[in-house]
Structure 1
C-alpha cells in the first residue's frame, strides 16, 4: 500500500493572469500510529488556511487573513466544525465497507476525498476536481462532463451504480464545481490578497553536492509564489540532458522550495565555469543566476547547506500532516469541497455519501 505525503506541484502560469485554487483534502484512517482517524485540510492557492481533525474536533483557521474572514463571518467556523463532525463517522464506516469488499481484516487503511476548483482571474476559466481514494490508489472519480462516476476498481462498481442513481447528488456537485466553489474561492482570495499575491525572492539560492562525484543540486528556498522556473544552462543555452528537475515543495511558513540537479560526471573541471543555474520567478524581471564553478571555491558552506536541506524537508513533512495518493494525470493535483450557504461554511459535508 502506498501512503504518500501531499506535495503540491504547479507549473508556471502566464504573467498576464493567475490561476487561483481552492482545495480540500479529507482523510479517514484506521490503525495509523500517531495520526488522527479523520483529518481535513483546506488550501487556497496551495496555502493551508483551515484545519480540522478528530482529536481537536474543531475547525481552526491557519492564516491571519482567515482570522479576519472568520471574524467577519461569525458562524463560519461553527458551521465547518459541525459539518466535519458529521462527516467523520461516514469516513470511518466507509473504511469498514471497503475492507469487506477488498477481503481485508485489520491493518492500516486510508480512505480519502479530494475535491475543489481552479479559477483563472483573467479568462474566467473554471476547472473542478472530485475523487475518492482507498489505500493509496484511486477508488472512484466524478466525471464533470457526463455527471457520472468512474470506477477504476472492480470493488467500486457497487458505489458507482449507487451514486449514479442519485441525480440530485450529482447535480449538486456539478453546480458546486462550476459556481459555488468559485464564489467562495473569490471571497478567500479577496481576504488573502496581500498575502497570496505577494512576491518573495528566495532567501537561499545555493549549490549542493554530497561528494565530488555526486550530481550538483541547485537549491532555492523561501520564494513565493510557486510560479517559478529553475534550470541549468551551458553557454546561455538551457540543458535538458543530464538534468533532473525536482518538485516545488511547501515550507512551514507558506513559502516554497525547489531544486534541480545536474550530472557533472562527464564535465571537465575547466568547463565548470560554462554552466550556471537560473531561477526565474513569475512577475520578477531579473533572473537569479549562480555559476557552477562557485561550488569549487574555498569556504563554500557545503555541510551547512546540506544540513539546512534536511531540516527543511523535515519541516515540509511536519506541516502537511495528511496523506494523499499519487496523482498520475496532469492537472489533478488538487481537489476541494464547499457549501451552499454564504453564512455558515463553504463545505457541504452532508454531501459525503456512504460507499
Structure 2
C-alpha cells in the first residue's frame, strides 16, 4: 500500500490550488469483538482507494480508477507488505501492553503515515505518527529527523529507531520522494473523480421551538468546504457551534453548524442566514432563516451523522487524534516493528 485522513480548510473564495494527500492507516487490535485484528486503509484526498484486513489477508482496490490502472503483481505486492505489517503489529501490541503494565482487555495500536503535495507550488510534506489506545505514542519530526513522544513508555522505541540512521534515511526518502511520486500517479489515475465538484443540499432544522437551529449540508464533494452563520450580512460567531466534516457512504461529505437563538425573537430571525462555500466554486449557497422555518429534525439526518462517524471509525479503525496530525500507515522499510 502506498498512503491516508486530513481535512483542509482553504480560503474558499475563487479558484485555489489544491493540496493532495496520500495517507495510510494501520490498526492492530486486541480483543475487539467483531473487528479484524489488523486493518489497513489507504486514502487519496480522503477517498478510500484500497483495503486489507487480517480476515481476508488480501489487499483489494476500492475505486474503479485504481483497479483499472494496476495489475495483479501490484496487488500481490500490496498484500505481501500488509501481511508483513500484520505480523509486526501483533508484536507491537504485546510490547506496548508490557510497557504500560497491562494484561488483557481491549487495546489498539495504530500507525498513520503519508504525504501531501501542492499541485501549484510542487511542495511536498511527509508525516507519520503512532498511537496506542487512542492516545499519541510517537510521531516523526521531518525537520529534525527525530521522534517525539509525550509518554515515557515510548522512550525506548524513540532511541531504538533514532540509532538506526539507515532506517531514518529510508523513512525520509519514502515520505519526501516515493510517497509523493505515488500520490501524483494516483491523482492522475483518478483526476476526473478527485477533481469533480458536487454541491450539497442544505437544510435548516430545529428539534423543538426552543432548541438551536441546525444548518446541515450533505452530498458535497470534495471535503474542502466551509460553512458558517451570518447576521445582517456579517459573519456571526456568538452561540455558534461548528461540527466536523464527516463522510457519507457514497463518497460525498456532510457537515453542520448550529446556532443558538434562544434569546432572539422570531421577528429577528430573518437577520440570520447560513452560508456554505465549496473550494473552487465561486457561488455560495445561502439559506436564510425566518420565523416560518420548518421546525423538525428528521431521523434520517441523525442516522446520517452517526453513520458517517461509524464509517470513519470502522473503515480506518482509528480514534480521533489531535487535529494537527490528520492521517496514517507504516512506511515499507526493512524494520517494520516500531516498539
TM-score, normalised relative to structure 1: 0.89
Tell me the CA shift for residue 67 of structure 1. Answer: 1.2
Q: Aligned ranges for residues 1-355 of structure 1 at < 5 Å?
A: 9-12=7-10, 15-70=15-70, 73-202=71-200, 204-293=201-290, 296-297=292-293, 300=294, 302-303=296-297, 306-320=298-312, 321=314, 322-328=316-322, 330=324, 332-336=325-329, 348=332, 350-355=334-339
- Is 1:57–1:81's contact at 8 Å kept on the other side of the alignment? yes
CA distance in 2, matches of 1:163, 1:198: 41
* Matched residue count: 332
SS at match of 1:293: coil
CA distance in 1, matches of 2:5, 2:183: 21
User: RMSD value over aligned CA atoms?
Assistant: 1.8
- Is 1:223–1:257's contact at 8 Å kept on the other side of the alignment? yes
- Is 1:83–1:350's contact at 8 Å kept on the other side of the alignment? no
Tell me the CA shift for residue 329 of structure 1. Answer: 5.2
Provide Cα deviations, 1:86-145, integer angstroms capped at 9, x if missing partner.
111110111111111111000001001000000100011111111111111111111111
CA distance in 2, matches of 1:354, 1:117: 20
Provide Cα deviations, 1:35-81, integer angstroms capped at 9, x if missing partner.
100000000000011010001111111111111122xx331111111
SS at match of 1:324: coil
Q: Which runs of 4+ in 1 moved over 4 A?
A: none
Q: 1:261 to 1:317 in 2, by over 3 A?
A: closer
TM-score, normalised relative to structure 2: 0.93
Provide Cα deviations, 1:179-224, integer angstroms capped at 9, x if missing partner.
110000000000010100000010x210111111111010000001
Tell me the CA shift for residue 251 of structure 1. Answer: 0.8
- Is 1:129–1:336's contact at 8 Å kept on the other side of the alignment? no
CA distance in 1, matches of 2:323, 2:308: 23
SS at match of 1:99: helix
SS at match of 2:9: coil
Query: Where does structure 2 lack aligned partners over 5 or more consecutive residues?
Result: none
- Is 1:11–1:228's contact at 8 Å kept on the other side of the alignment? yes
CA distance in 2, matches of 1:7, 1:243: 25
